[in-house]
Structures are given as structure tokens and as C-alpha cells.
Structure 1
């Protein structure tokens, strides 16, 4: 059985090694192309220089001989001063040839000269530069010739012969090219190394912090002074996530304590009251009152358990929503009337402002009433003494908005971002009203299941405004 190699490498090593390989391959290709280009241009330049040299020598022959080629057994001086023309270390063969192809003079010593007759087939061709090869294995060589003539009379030729290897020999240029390629490779590697390290270090820090969070330690410290936008967003988002997880962990702890306390309190009360009834500590009207209190506590405990079950059902998408077409004005009128009837406290003034022109919405009326009842109850709990609650229905091109505004004490600024978190309860509310902190998260989930949403518009010491949005029919 084959096993997959899951060996991991560091980001710094991964990036630098692959970049270096890519860089080296690219530089090798560039070096080969550059070497071929240098070879080609060097060959052309040197052939042009040799041609210029033959023309210069032919002109000097004419000037010195007054129209007759010089026939000397030894080399004339201008056959050996090629260094002023040539810029390479080659040793070209220079010949002075008469019209019949006989070599009159050469820069080669007599003992090194193996030919006395130059092929007329080469001299009679029109090309001044010819590339020749004696056989398939021999190195190619170039022949550059210029006619010596005066008054349209051919007096001979100046011929220079040099091998292609000598003409293309540019060791110094190749050394410079090698140094440049090596320097570019070193510079490129250094650049990607430091850039990769600059990007990999914060990622390593985030990975280390993630392990720290995985172990349950949320007290992480990460730098945020990065100029790179993506790196900054990564680090900042991770810190925000860590803080949120820390808050959720605290909420989970509070949930356990809260659920224990909220369920223990009515159970303790019911147990004490029923024990008193069982022991005949109270009788008559007192016994009825104790029984009524026990039933009331039982109802509260039942409501908390139902909230937990309903919330879990919605979170698991296990509750169906029955969408129906209804008049929004009629629904709001029914909801507010029903809520007012069930209130014993008459210090709260509830007002409703419906749409001037009624609209139909596709909603589940029972679920929408759950949201309204929860928001109205929360508004009432935030008001101490007399106060008012305003329900305002508004519409725009795409949706219908229901504003629930109260004149209560408002929500603390540091708690406003947490009110839709499950099991969260504000510091002021947790000591006044029993509950599990599921009302607002549950209401938001219902609103979203209806195709709308629920959000906090504003909250201050002057009051709080929640908004339910529903899509228009």
C-alpha cells in the first residue's frame, strides 16, 4: 500500500527554494540567449572590422605603388600592424595576391606558408565575405577580400583569412556575463528571502497563537504594525476572533452558572413551599397562596426550558415556518392589542403608527408575533416607572420595517455588540429579570427565517430602537 508523503516544510523555505529554482532557470535561459547574441554581434563586428582593414590596406597599396602592387619577398610593414584595427587576440592570415591568384606577400613566415597559389574560385566570387570549410570535420573559416584596383584596372587582392573560433572568442564578455548572472541570482535570492521572512513571520505568529487558543489560552499578543494590507487583516481578524472566542467562553461559563441558578431558584422555592404544605405548616388560604406561588414558579421554569428547546430547534433548522399572505397593518394591530391585554402594569403607554396605505406581507404570523412579544417585553423591562413604547411601521421600495422604540434606560455601549449572542445577559438585566439570554438571538433567527432580519438601530439613555425588516410581497 502506498502512503502519501505529508512532510511539511516551512513557508520561508518553500518560497525561497522554489523562487531560487525559478530564478536560476530563468537566468540560465537569459545567459544562453545573451551568449548567443554576444557571439553573433561579435562575429559581425569583427568581420566588418576585417573588411575595413582589407579596404585600408588596398588603398595604401595603391598610394605606395602608384598603381602597381608591391612585390616583396618579405612582409611589408602594413601587413603586421593589424593591432590598430583588430580588437581580439586572433592571428589572421593576410595575403597580397596578384590577378592570377599568386600569393605575392603574406604575414606568415616562409616556412609556415604552405600554399603559393590562392584559389581563383574564391577570388572571382562577388561576395567580399565568404564562409568556407575544407571538410565536414574541419572548423569553418571566413575569407574577407578587397580588390586592389586603379582606373578600373585590377591589380590584385588583399585577402584576410581567420577561423570562426578566433572571430567569436570573447572570454572577457563571457566572464562579465557570468558575473552579472551570478550577481542577479544572489540579489534575487536575498530579496525573496527577506520578503518571504517578512511575510512568513506574522503567519508563524498567528499559527502559534492558534495553537495557544486551541489549548484554551486566549491571552495572545500579536503585532499589528504591518504595512501589508492582507497581513494586517489576517492578524487583526485573528485577534478579533480570539477576543470573540474568549467572550463566548465567558458566556458559556455564565450560561452554566445562569442556567444552574435560574433553574435552581424556582426548584428550591417549589420544594420549600411544597414541603411546608406537606408538613401542614400552612393551611387554609395560606396553603392556597403557597400552591399558587408554586404553580407560578413552575410556569417560569417551564418557560425557560421551552426557550432552550425552541432555540435549539431553530438552530438545527428543525422548525418549519408556515408562510402566509397577511395585511401588515392588521397584524400589527392584533399583536399590540394582544400584548396590552396581557399586561397588568398600566404605567406603560403603547402607541401604534401603521402604514397610510396598507401592504401585504408573506410571513408566519405566529413567529412574527413571537418576535413582537419578546421585543415589547424587553422594552417594558427597560422602563422604570412610567414610560412609553412606540411601534412604527415604515416601507421603502424593497422592504417593510417595524420600529419598536422605548423610553427606557438603554443598553450599555460595551454590551450593544453582544446582545444577539446566545446566553448573553446584560449586567443590569441579569439581576432584575430571570431568563437565559435567548430572547433576542431567538427573535433574530426567526426574523431571518422569514426572509428579513432584526437589528439594533440605536440605544442611549433616552431609549432603545429595534428594527424588524420584512420583504415586501
Structure 2
């Protein structure tokens, strides 16, 4: 654990930019090496081709002059030949040019640093290859390229044009290498800048979310992230979801505070009442029938407090999956009719009738009748509490095809819009109900857990100032 805490953490921006820079550098280095090999090869080939062309051109001019000359071999070095040689000399690294007779004897040479003999061996001139290499006379490790072209008149070879140039001058690629280095460096900087900008754009909302999460961890639930203008769907979802979570946590924290105050009040009130009543009996403040009435009231308060505690314990037990639910096939219309009849008998004095509308045919569903009764009784209790004065409640069974639904409707005051998303939260009690009905706010959350445990669901179907409808969905058994 200690080692884990000491592990170095780096920012997202630095993490991605450094790793991308390393990957980019390695990739560009490999690309540069391959490019150097390719440029060296292609440039050398191109320069050799150009040199061959110039040697052939020079040989052609000399052959043309030979045809017009009346004399012997001294005509090889006329003005045209000097002009052609000067064109070659204008090259950045001009080759050494030799003009020989048919036997290889050197008649003219631009310079003799690369070759200082009087003639070229016949075996070199007679080879089929116009481009050859041989070691330099000054440096055995360096190569010299030899390019030869015959001086031919009427298919008769009168001599040779020979060009010599060192390999390092042929392969002098400083300009090409500088251009390649510039391109590689520019690509690297551009690529790094792009990933830096993109990583920074991605890191900002994540950093903001992390900072806001620390505030929430410290108990400040009022934080929120600025609305994101990012085009990335994931970043937008992160910001909006975090804001929704923060609002939700703030609501739950408010509910938790109200729960603590509410539970304290709900339990303290009967305890105070019981204590006062029993103290009055003990001190003989009341006697006879009054004392018995005080004791009866104390017992009722005790029973009510015990009911709240049992609800709390039962909810926690079920939420921990420790309370079993046993489902079996039952006829939904008959099961619901019995519950409505029981309710009407028990609550006859309240003058709030419940009208039952069964389904058009028998509906066999999988349910636990005990848990089903708990859910229905809670929904009917809530419906009765929502009605102020006179009104009515309706229970309707509907066949949904794959399942069945029980709609519990009332003509009460409805649920405010601000409370509709919170009614299934544990311990939440609405403003209209908080001061009129005693309880812990576990009825609907517990009923929802029970419904889902039976492969069904409980949801708020609709609500308005003229009434509310809850829908209990159950799983239907298809009977052939």
C-alpha cells in the first residue's frame, strides 16, 4: 500500500505529449534513414545518367568535327570541344575529362589528379559497361567512377571520351540532406504541436472534473462544471453527466439531512408523549378511567413507533437481499379484488371509496401474494393521503400482452414537478405529506424493490393537480 502511494503520477497532457513525441521521433528517425538510402541511390543513378549523357554529347561533337576536319588527330581540341568541356566544368563538382585515341592514349585532359598516366588500359575501354569503378590512386578506400563513350565516325572508333569523378562528389547530397532534415524536423514539430493541442483540449475538462470531484469528496456538493462546447461526444457526456451527478448528490445530501431530522422527530415525538403520559399516571395526576386512557394512548404510540422501526429494519433487510420473495402463479383479477375489498371494509369510515375495474379475462401472473398486498396497500394509503376532502380512488387491471399492469389512480392534489424524480428515493417525503402524515418515507422505495424482485416494476404513470396514477407491472404466465 505504501509503495502504491509513492508511485509517481504525471499529468495527462505530459503523459500523452511525451509518449507521442518519443513515438514520433522514432518513426521519423526510421523514415529519415530509409529516405537517406533512397535519396542516395536515386540521386547517384540520376547523376550517372546525366554524366553519361554529357559524355555522349561531347563524343558526338568531336565526331562531327572529325568529319569536317581535313587533318589528323590534332583537330580533337577545336573551339567546339573546348565549349563542350566548359559546359561540363560549370557543374558544381565537374568531372575530370580525358580525350583519348582509339588505343587509349590520352590526347587531352582537364586535370590529372585522379589519373596521372599517359593512357587508359584497353581492357577498360573495351568493356561493355560504360560506367565502371576503380580505387582512387590517392586513397585506396575511395572509389572513382569512370564513364566512357566512344568517338565514332562511320562506325569507326577514332577515340574515347572518358570522365572520372570520385564517389564522394557524385554522392554529395548536402542540399538534399538539408531539405530532408528540414522536412523531418518540421513534421516532428507540427505533429507534436497537434498532439499537444489535442491533449490539452482533452485534459482540460478531465482536470476540471477531477478538481470538482475533490470538492464533492470534501463535502461541497454545490460545484458544477462549465457547459462544454466540445464537439467530442465523450467530453460532452462527461461534463453533463458530472453536473447531473453533482445536482443529484446535492439533492440526496439534502434528503439525508431531512431524513435525520425527520427520523429524530418521528421517534422523539412518541417517546416524549409516552414519557409524559406515563409520568402523569405515576404521579397520580390522573386516576381511574383517565389513567387507563393514558396507558392506552401510550400503548398506541408505542405500537406506532414499533411499526416505523419495523419498516426501517425490513427495508434494510430487503435492500441487502436478505428477505426472500416467493413467486407462484395467481389469478390477478381475483387477487386484486380481494385487496380492494379488504381496503374498503377497513377504511369505510374515511368515505373514500375504491372502484375496481378488472381485466376482461382471467390473467395468470407470477407474484408473491404477501408482497403484492404490501405494494397495493401502500399505493392505496398514498392515494388516500393525497385526497383532500372528498374524492375517489380507482384500481384498474390491464392486459399488456407480455405482462399485466395494475393502475392505482386518485383524484388528489398530485405531485409537484420538482418532487417527481425523488419520490422513489429512500426516506424522501414530499412537502405536502411531510407535515400531515407520519412516516419515514420508505413506502414507495420499498414497494419498488418488491416489484422488481418479482420481475416487475413500479412507476409513476402520470400526475397533475387533478390526480395521480401509479402503475404496478407484473409478469404474466401464458397459459395454453
Same fold (TM over 0.5): yes
Give CA-to-partner distance per residue, 1:311-353, whole Å, 9 cap, x none: 1101111111112121222221222222222214343231222
Moved more, 41-50 or 176-185: 176-185
Structure 2 equivalent of residue 43 of structure 1: 44
Structure 1 equivalent of residue 118 of structure 2: 116
Structure 2 equivalent of residue 333 of structure 1: 337
Unaligned 5+ runs, structure 1: none
Say if 1:439 and 1:75 are closer, same or farther in 2 by CA, change over 3 A. Answer: farther
Say if 1:209 and 1:391 are closer, same or farther in 2 by CA, change over 3 A. Answer: same
Moved more, 301-310 or 328-337: 328-337
Structure 2 Cα separation of the partners of residues 247 and 106 of structure 1: 99
Matches within 5 A, 1:155-170: 155-170=158-173
Unaligned 5+ runs, structure 2: none
Matches within 5 A, 1:284-303: 284-303=288-307
Structure 1 Cα separation of the partners of residues 114 and 253 of structure 2: 99
Structure 1 equivalent of residue 441 of structure 2: 437
Secondary structure in structure 2 of the residue aligned to 1:96: strand
Matches within 5 A, 1:262-301: 262-301=266-305
Say if 1:451 and 1:96 are closer, same or farther in 2 by CA, change over 3 A. Answer: same
Cα pair 1:23 1:185 within 8 Å, conserved? yes
Say if 1:95 and 1:345 are closer, same or farther in 2 by CA, change over 3 A. Answer: farther
Secondary structure in structure 1 of the residue aligned to 2:353: strand
Say if 1:35 and 1:343 are closer, same or farther in 2 by CA, change over 3 A. Answer: same
Structure 2 Cα separation of the partners of residues 3 and 350 of structure 1: 63
Structure 1 Cα separation of the partners of residues 353 and 85 of structure 2: 115
Displacement of 1:137 in angstroms is 5.5
Cα pair 1:423 1:436 within 8 Å, conserved? yes
Say if 1:141 and 1:467 are closer, same or farther in 2 by CA, change over 3 A. Answer: farther
Displacement of 1:79 in angstroms is 5.4
Structure 2 equivalent of residue 15 of structure 1: 16
Say if 1:79 and 1:333 are closer, same or farther in 2 by CA, change over 3 A. Answer: farther
Give CA-to-partner distance per residue, 1:122-175, whole Å, 9 cap, x none: 322222233445799522332222222122222222222222221111211211
Structure 2 Cα separation of the partners of residues 89 and 9 of structure 1: 53
Say if 1:208 and 1:83 are closer, same or farther in 2 by CA, change over 3 A. Answer: farther
Moved more, 298-307 or 28-37: 28-37
Structure 2 Cα separation of the partners of residues 380 and 462 of structure 1: 14
Match for residue 89 of structure 1 among 66, 89, 92: 92
Say if 1:75 and 1:13 are closer, same or farther in 2 by CA, change over 3 A. Answer: farther
Superposed CA RMSD: 2.6
User: Is 1:406 aligned to residue 410 of structure 2?
Assistant: yes
User: Is 1:30 aligned to residue 31 of structure 2?
Assistant: yes
Cα pair 1:46 1:86 within 8 Å, conserved? no
Displacement of 1:206 in angstroms is 1.6
User: Is 1:239 aligned to residue 243 of structure 2?
Assistant: yes
Secondary structure in structure 2 of the residue aligned to 1:48: helix
Moved more, 169-178 or 81-90: 81-90
Displacement of 1:308 in angstroms is 0.3
Structure 2 Cα separation of the partners of residues 148 and 443 of structure 1: 110
Displacement of 1:252 in angstroms is 1.3
Cα pair 1:93 1:160 within 8 Å, conserved? yes
Match for residue 396 of structure 1 among 393, 400, 412: 400
Structure 2 equivalent of residue 457 of structure 1: 461
User: Is 1:60 aligned to residue 61 of structure 2?
Assistant: yes
Structure 2 Cα separation of the partners of residues 294 and 4 of structure 1: 57
Structure 2 Cα separation of the partners of residues 342 and 128 of structure 1: 119
Moved more, 118-127 or 250-259: 118-127
Moved more, 256-265 or 237-246: 237-246
Task: Tell me the number of residue pairs that the alignment of Structure 1 and Structure 2 aligns.
Answer: 472
Structure 2 Cα separation of the partners of residues 457 and 470 of structure 1: 15
Structure 2 Cα separation of the partners of residues 320 and 21 of structure 1: 59
User: Is 1:193 aligned to residue 196 of structure 2?
Assistant: yes
Secondary structure in structure 1 of the residue aligned to 2:324: coil
User: Is 1:354 aligned to residue 355 of structure 2?
Assistant: no
Structure 2 Cα separation of the partners of residues 458 and 120 of structure 1: 109
Moved more, 198-207 or 63-72: 63-72
Structure 2 equivalent of residue 379 of structure 1: 383
Structure 1 Cα separation of the partners of residues 188 and 334 of structure 2: 78
Cα pair 1:79 1:107 within 8 Å, conserved? no
Cα pair 1:145 1:160 within 8 Å, conserved? yes
Structure 2 Cα separation of the partners of residues 79 and 373 of structure 1: 119
Structure 2 Cα separation of the partners of residues 271 and 424 of structure 1: 28
Cα pair 1:97 1:156 within 8 Å, conserved? yes
Structure 2 Cα separation of the partners of residues 360 and 90 of structure 1: 101
Secondary structure in structure 2 of the residue aligned to 1:94: strand
Displacement of 1:77 in angstroms is 6.2
Structure 1 Cα separation of the partners of residues 293 and 219 of structure 2: 49
Structure 2 equivalent of residue 202 of structure 1: 205
Moved more, 285-294 or 118-127: 285-294
